[in-house]
Structure 1
Amino acid sequence: MAASAEGPEEAQESRQEPAGLYLDYGYGSHVGLRRELNEDSSVITDTLFAVADGMGGHEAGEVASALAVQTLADGWNRAEGRVSRDQIQAYLGEADQRIREATDSKAGTTVSGALLEDHEDGLSWVVFNIGDSRTYLYEQAELRQLTRDHSQVQDMFDSGLITAEELHSHPQRNVITRALGAGEMWDADFTTAAVRAGQRLMICSDGLSGELTDDEIGRILGAGRNAQDTVDWLIHQSLRAGGRDNVTVVVVDVQQQDVQQQDARQQDVQQHDSPKQDGPPQED
């Protein structure tokens, strides 16, 4: 599958088979109830997923977020999907430069996402973050935020100046301290997590995390719906909670193939690869 950088209103579900596992994913975006433009963008590939939340107004934020995800998609395609952590940082540096040139440094964007990386000792998520878009991991009925917000209120909370409850309501909650295309800080934070069957990874803009609590998000992620239905439900609930900002959500499920699935897929591959088949080669 070629990488695709998505605009605000796209949604679909697909799958890939890494080492006996397969990924089901869904994604979607909504302008919200109080904004005229959707400045969020996302990139969806077989192994790389990310959400960017632009800022700058007058369509400049939309340009910034689109350039961020397009640069990631372009890099993934050039590398034919074999991307490392160092390459992600290089792509982000390239995106920063492209945004500054396109907007005269008057717009910026957050970006958060995850890369599925295959090592000798197994698969891992390489999670990256700039700004206050977030990546979460839901596993064994527990929700864990894998990223730390680069925001003024997060710094205040870490310093003990405000409470966890004030994070959602503080007047400075939208002031970020790190972004692509603007300011002096744009390096990403990275973290890793082992990949296991049964995991559910979620990436979102602050249009979701600013409206729903972690408990509310965890309840929806754990309700047993498939990835795309879960995305749609999360977006719906964020709108019901106020919809004050654009909201974009990506959900990726890690699932184990059973024996019958693996046999069926192997048979399908053999059928397509058989030199005895008549006519032109078929494509999936």
Structure 2
Amino acid sequence: MAIALNYAARSDVGLGRTTNQDSGYAGPHLLVIADGMGGHAGGDVASSLAVGEMSVLDGESHGSDDAAQHLHDALESANAQLRRRVEAEPDLAGMGTTVTAILRAGTRLVLAHIGDSRGYLLRDGQLTQLTKDHSYVQSLIDDGRLTPEEAERHPQRSVIMRVLTGRADDEADVSVREARPGDRYLLCSDGLSGVVSHDTLAETLSAGMDPDATCQRLVELALRGGGPDNISCVVADVVELGGGAPPSTTPQVVGAAAFHRPRRSSAAGTPAARAAALRAAAEESGDDAEDDDQRPELTDRERRRRRVRWIVGPVLLVLLLAAGALGGWRWSQQQYFVGADGDSVAIYQGLSQDIGPLQTSHVLETTDIALADLPTTWSNRVEARITSRDLDAARDTVAELEDLAAACRAATAPTPSPTVDPTATATAPASPTASPTPTVAPEDCGGVG
């Protein structure tokens, strides 16, 4: 039985953002959603690079035995592209992207996932989440310290533990499943799954609309729910060739990737694709100037106009740069992050990335939390700087770190030998209203002791 995909993709900037850092791709053999992060550090660049590098997998069939390796290699290639881009442009340091992708190989689908974008399967009316979020709150759920309902309101629900950043240890989960005609797959960024409930997703995907109308409806529901983040989704139906609805054949690119026009690496794709990329690069860098002997003589009036433009142009440019710098400074003073101040934790106001020798932030609030008292993973994250959407969110992060530090101190404190005092009197039990301290394994607290 031969199968194919009937697909559609949509992306919207949302109501709470001014730029779209999501990228999406849907083609006959490949589906991808990438949610970039890094804010000013280039989340849109990261997601576009990932989609552009992975799109090489579309346009040709893959054997079911080696499809998983092909997808794994494409993710590694995308990660290497991110690393090279940051090396070439240090101001992009800190950018990263989630990736959730499906590669079709015969009747099998290979799913790769890193980050908190999601993949779902609707089969026989039941919607199943195929991916597990690589997030802090998901780790708390896995440890039994949070319920899924509590996680939806947790102040650190947007903290992601694994994404593509260009580092060698950025590893995605890869799995293989059998495709069936009638299956419907949804890939989406957290701008959709974080706003629209599981039940509403299931109801919408089961409503009988085609993939394009379904994507449009899902975006509308996220916007109706407030649209605080970029919203992107890919919906794909598995169809049997010759059995009814014709499959889709034209790739769709949405979000940041549609604007950045990411190119594949020079070794990727067919010879025709490489030739087209080279032609496009040549056209963009070509010299448009005419030969000197073909240029007409300028009149006195034209010369005066050019002199005026040469004088006025730089003046206007300086004024625009000054206005932009002022606006940028004001915006930067509305940004907050939690970072290291010597050996302690502090809340900073300003940008989390310095611009060359220019320091763009300052300590706003100090704390008594020592980095050595934190679990190793969290002390590393503090040193790498934890961005926050506002000052209250930064203070919530500090409160979380205080609990973790207390848990580490308790986990590594020496246990005193019990003594018996015959004259001692019984003491009252501790108040049941005390806030529970998080449980931390002693081996996780490498900096304590």
Displacement, 1:100?
A: 2.2
Aligned equivalents of 1:100, 1:170: Cα separation in 2? 32
Aligned equivalents of 1:259, 1:199: Cα separation in 2? 14
Aligned equivalents of 1:261, 1:27: Cα separation in 2? 18
Q: What is the SS of the residue equivalent to 2:98?
A: strand
Aligned length: 238
Q: Is the 8 A contact 1:39 1:61 kept in 2?
A: yes
Of residues 145, 152, 173, the one that matches 1:189 is 173
Matched, 1:71 2:59: no
Where does residue 227 of structure 1 map in the other structure?
Answer: 211
Highest relative contact order (Cα 8 Å, sep 6+), 1 or 2? 1
Of residues 19, 24, 29, the one that matches 1:47 is 29
Where does residue 108 of structure 2 map in the other structure?
Answer: 124
TM-score normalized by structure 1?
0.79
> Identity rate of aligned residues, in percent?
39
Aligned equivalents of 2:10, 2:244: Cα separation in 1? 31
Aligned equivalents of 2:115, 2:184: Cα separation in 1? 22
Of residues 97, 100, 103, the one that matches 2:83 is 100
Q: Which runs of 5+ in 2 are unaligned?
A: 247-449
Q: What is the SS of the residue equivalent to 1:165?
A: helix
Matched, 1:24 2:12: no
Where does residue 82 of structure 1 map in the other structure?
Answer: 62
Bigger strand fraction:
1
Aligned equivalents of 1:21, 1:191: Cα separation in 2? 19
CA RMSD of aligned residues (A): 1.9
Where does residue 129 of structure 2 map in the other structure?
Answer: 145
Q: Is the 8 A contact 2:121 2:128 kept in 1?
A: yes
Displacement, 1:124?
A: 1.3
Displacement, 1:35?
A: 0.5
Aligned equivalents of 2:245, 2:47: Cα separation in 1? 38
Q: Deviations 1:166-199 (Å, cap 9, x if unpaired)?
A: 2222111111111111566421101222111111
Of residues 168, 179, 185, the one that matches 1:201 is 185
Displacement, 1:88?
A: 1.1
Q: Is the 8 A contact 1:100 1:107 kept in 2?
A: no
Bigger helix fraction:
2
Displacement, 1:260?
A: 7.8
Q: Is the 8 A contact 1:106 1:182 kept in 2?
A: no
- Alignment of structure 1 residues 128-277 onto 2, 5 Å: 128-181=112-165, 185-257=169-241
Matched, 1:91 2:74: yes
Q: What is the SS of the residue equivalent to 2:39?
A: coil
TM-score normalized by structure 2?
0.51
Aligned equivalents of 1:113, 1:222: Cα separation in 2? 22
Displacement, 1:255?
A: 2.2
Q: What is the SS of the residue equivalent to 2:152?
A: helix
For 1:113, the aligned partner's letter is A
Displacement, 1:257?
A: 4.6
For 2:221, the aligned partner's letter is Q
Q: Is the 8 A contact 2:9 2:25 kept in 1?
A: no
Q: Is the 8 A contact 2:7 2:27 kept in 1?
A: no
Residues 261 and 108 (structure 1 numbering): CA distance in 2 closer, same or farther, change over 3 Å?
Answer: closer
Mark the structure with the bigger radius of gyration: 2
Aligned equivalents of 2:38, 2:219: Cα separation in 1? 23
Q: What is the SS of the residue equivalent to 2:104?
A: strand
For 2:150, the aligned partner's letter is E
Q: Is the 8 A contact 1:178 1:185 kept in 2?
A: no
For 2:16, the aligned partner's letter is R
